[in-house]
Amino acid sequence: QVLPFPSQVVYNRVGKCGSRTVVLLLRILSEKHGFNLVTSDIHNKTRLTKTEQMELIKNISTAEQPYLFTRHVHFLNFSRFGGDQPVYINIIRDPVNRFLSNYFFRRFGDWRGEQNHMIRTPSMRQEERYLDINVCILENYPECSNPRLFYIIPYFCGQHPRCREPGEWALERAKLNVNENFLLVGILEELEDVLLLLERFLPHYFKDVLSIYKNPEHRKLGNLTVTVKKTVPSPEAVQILYQRMRYEYEFYYYVKEQFHLLKRKFGLKSHIRKPHPRPEFFIPSPLETEEPIDDEEEDDEKWLEDIYKR
């Protein structure tokens, strides 16, 4: 049997960026297309010691191919430990929206009807659980200030200790890894386009993903993972968050620009607007996908071939 290429894919999913929706899709797709979906029960250990990195890389590398491995974990450099570097994929979202989703999810869970949040954070005191988001931000509680707000970049920067420090070094290394090791980093606000491109780039894994995603029964399941009791902070609090997350936003806008270039290359239209002095928050997600356009003829096969050869 000839394996599809690439036959090793890693989705080191960023927390609260639509990953439960995507993993739900992957479970359906793995049965439909016969690839090996390797998931992890560890959800709260993204930073690993050198020994833990070696062990995880060994476990992933020996999985039956073709495989797609998924876990909340910062970027792992397989080649550093003598392994074959897999193809990476990921999805990110507006950093403040991601932070708010996580803040309320930890406290109140989602619409699945279980008391998941109580199980997840049993030791959280009542006053902490009901802590007003504005108080948390304006009074500089640890949960609402750096380094905890520096969250997305380390998933792309990697396991180096400096990847956890908000600054230019981690930002630039994250951008470099996106360019060199990630086949696709999508934007959650444009999820349907992300799925279209994944289907195009990795058909063995993602063929028919969009039709499954749009199926009313699946959408019903997806709606159960929406965070509940989410409230909007004051404009002053949002502005403070934006300042504290300036590196996260620089990375987000960089990824978004690359994603829009990729969409245009494959005939998907984006509404490109001038950057705002501050980000637009609380965009409904996902946005509707526009019809493809035909005004750019590109040799996509050659482009994909080049990507796989990196």
Long-range contacts of 1-8 (CB under 8 A, 24+ apart): 3/65, 3/66, 4/66, 4/203, 4/204, 5/308, 6/66, 6/86, 6/87, 6/183, 6/202, 6/308, 7/65, 7/66, 7/67, 8/60, 8/61, 8/65, 8/66, 8/67, 8/69, 8/84, 8/86, 8/87
72 is catalytic: yes
CB 42, CB 74: distance < 8 Å: no
3-state secondary structure of 110: strand
CB 13, CB 22: distance < 8 Å: yes
Rounded distance, CA 131 to CA 46, Å? 26
The pair of three-digit structure tokens given for residue 302, joined into one six-digit string: 């050659």
Angle at alpha carbon of residue 139, lines to 136 and 142, rounded to 5°? 60
Helix axes 216-223, 19-33, angle to 10 degrees: 140
Strands (E), the chain: 8-11, 36-39, 67-70, 87-92, 182-187
φ, ψ for residue 8, nearest 5 deg: -130, 110
The pair of three-digit structure tokens given for residue 153, joined into one six-digit string: 């970049």
Which residue(s) pair with 11 in the sheet?
Answer: 70, 89
Of 72, 160, 204, 218, which one is the catalytic site residue? 72
208 burial level (CB within 10 Å; 0-12, 13-18, 19+): middle
Question: Which residues participate in catalysis according to the annotation?
Answer: 72
